[in-house]
């Protein structure tokens, strides 16, 4: 038998009710973490951590979380699309592990692994999407606001993995997501378009936003095309007083954000990224149940 019924490849892979339970559980695990009293929910579970695309933040959190919840984490030096067939690799890994956490470049590769894997597969990031990052941010927002219902999330970002996962979230949850950017970089993927996601070029959309996110500027920018979309302290000063600014790391000061914006009271990046660990722990707990 191949193909696990429970995977987390795209944010909307998990039904709304289950996503809500994971977000709530992340808050509970945050408290347990602070008390150094983590439940041993992964005791006896063997998890493969495969990093085929650099990065450190969420993969380190996966490693730490697995161990804190009593599981065994093995770093597997697999390179996809090199010598062995992806389906063969998935089968071999399924012989030894109860869950696969994979960070790789191509989403198609991840889908191929999941289709052949007898155990759950978690997307730890691809170039197309980054659902764990969004899950962690939502868990943090829930901890601050008490609810995620009715959020207006404005992404001042190009069509890239961070924003795409927020668009995925708008499919699964009752949140409004607005991309504000020049038309050249608007999301046009039909699979992501839905009535809770829209695109705009108007920075005025930020005035009533609950959450503002950014991402690195695209590499193909021309001249000063994006200067009007840089987030500075002056922009944040005009937001609602309870708004949350979440610049997505790595942050390039002087491009998508200014140094002053990173020191602004509405900037909650460091606190929010703490919840990446807790949300991923809650996700693994749910997948292992």
* pLDDT at res. 245: 98
Average pLDDT over residues 240-245: 97
CA distances from 166 to 18, 19, 169, 184, 213 (A): 17, 14, 5, 19, 10
Q: Taking a C-beta distance cutoff of 8 angstroms, is the pair 163, 189 a contact?
A: no
Per the prediction, the chain carries an average pLDDT of 94
pLDDT of residue 76: 95
Residue located via tokens 């606190």 = 271
Examine the pLDDT at 19 and tell me if it is beyond 50: yes
Long-range CB pairs of 90-98 (<8 Å, 24+ gap) are 90/2, 90/114, 90/115, 90/116, 90/117, 91/2, 91/116, 91/117, 91/118, 93/48, 93/117, 93/119, 94/2, 94/118, 94/119, 96/46, 96/48, 97/46, 97/47, 97/48, 98/45, 98/46, 98/47, 98/288
Confidence check: pLDDT of 207 > 90: yes
In tens, the pLDDT along 175-203 reads 999 999 999 999 999 999 999 999 999 99
Dihedral sign computed on CA atoms, order 36, 39, 42, 48: negative
Spatial separation of the C-alpha atoms in residues 285 and 288, rounded to whole Å: 5
* Calpha distance 10→141 (Å, rounded): 20
The CATH architecture of the domain made up of 11-130+274-288 is 3-Layer(aba) Sandwich (3.40)
**pLDDT, mean of residues 46-51:** 97
When pLDDT is averaged across residues 87-115 and rounded to a whole number, the result is: 95
- Residue 56's pLDDT is 87
Of 13-22, 74-83, 94-103, 268-277, the range with the lowest mean pLDDT is 74-83
Burial class (CB in 10 A: 0-12, 13-18, 19+), 255: middle
* Intervals of CATH 3.40.50.1370 along the chain: 11-130+274-288, 146-268
Grade residue 219 by pLDDT with cuts at 50, 70 and 90. confident
60-85 mean pLDDT = 92
The C-alpha atoms of residue 49 and residue 74 are separated, in whole angstroms, by 6
pLDDT over 80 at 136, yes or no:
yes
pLDDT at 1: 39
**CB count, 10 Å around CB of 24?**
14
- 18 with 68: CB under 8 angstroms? no
Residue 4: its pLDDT value, please?
Answer: 61
pLDDT band at 250 (very low <50, low <70, confident <90, very high): confident
pLDDT value at residue 249 = 85
**How many alpha carbons lie under 13 Å from residue 76 in its C-beta half-sphere?**
24
Distances (CA, A) of 264 to 12, 231, 248: 32, 11, 15
> Which pair of tokens denotes residue 13?
């892979």
Question: E-strand spans in the chain?
Answer: 46-51, 72-75, 99-103, 121-125, 152-156, 176-180, 197-200, 211-214, 244-247
- Taking domain 146-268, whether its CATH number is 3.60.20.10 is answered by no
Token pair 């920075």: residue: 203
Structure tokens that stand for 128 in this block: 């197309």
Q: Mean pLDDT throughout 257-281?
A: 97
Those residues whose C-beta lies under 8 Å from the C-beta of residue 282, and which sit 6 or more positions away, are 22, 23, 25, 26, 28, 29, 139
């Amino acid at each position: 038998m191949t193909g696990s019924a429970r995977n987390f490849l795209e944010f909307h892979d998990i039904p709304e009710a289950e996503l809500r339970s994971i977000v709530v559980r992340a808050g509970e695990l945050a408290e347990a973490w602070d008390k150094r009293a983590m439940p041993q929910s992964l005791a006896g579970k063997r998890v493969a951590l495969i990093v085929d695309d650099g990065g450190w933040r969420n993969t380190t959190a996966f490693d730490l979380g697995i161990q804190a919840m009593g599981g065994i984490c093995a770093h597997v030096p697999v390179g996809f699309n090199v010598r062995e067939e992806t389906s063969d690799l998935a089968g071999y890994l399924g012989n030894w592990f109860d869950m696969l956490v994979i960070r790789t470049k191509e989403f198609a590769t991840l889908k191929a692994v999941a289709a052949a894997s007898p155990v759950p597969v978690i997307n730890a990031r691809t170039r197309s999407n980054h659902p764990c990052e969004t899950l962690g941010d939502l868990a943090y927002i829930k901890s601050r606001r008490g609810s995620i219902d009715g959020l207006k999330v404005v992404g001042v970002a190009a069509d890239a993995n961070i924003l795409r996962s927020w668009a995925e979230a708008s499919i699964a949850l009752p949140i409004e997501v607005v991309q504000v950017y020049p038309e050249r970089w608007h999301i046009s993927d039909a699979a992501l378009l839905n009535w809770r996601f829209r695109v705009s070029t108007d920075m005025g959309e930020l005035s009533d936003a609950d959450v503002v996110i950014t991402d690195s500027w695209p590499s193909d920018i021309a001249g000063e095309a994006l200067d009007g979309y840089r987030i500075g302290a002056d922009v944040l000063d005009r937001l609602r007083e309870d708004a949350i600014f979440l610049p997505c790391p790595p942050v390039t000061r002087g491009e998508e954000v200014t140094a002053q914006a990173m020191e602004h009271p509405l900037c909650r990046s460091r606190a929010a990224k703490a919840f990446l660990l807790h949300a991923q722990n809650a996700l693994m707990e749910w997948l292992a149940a």
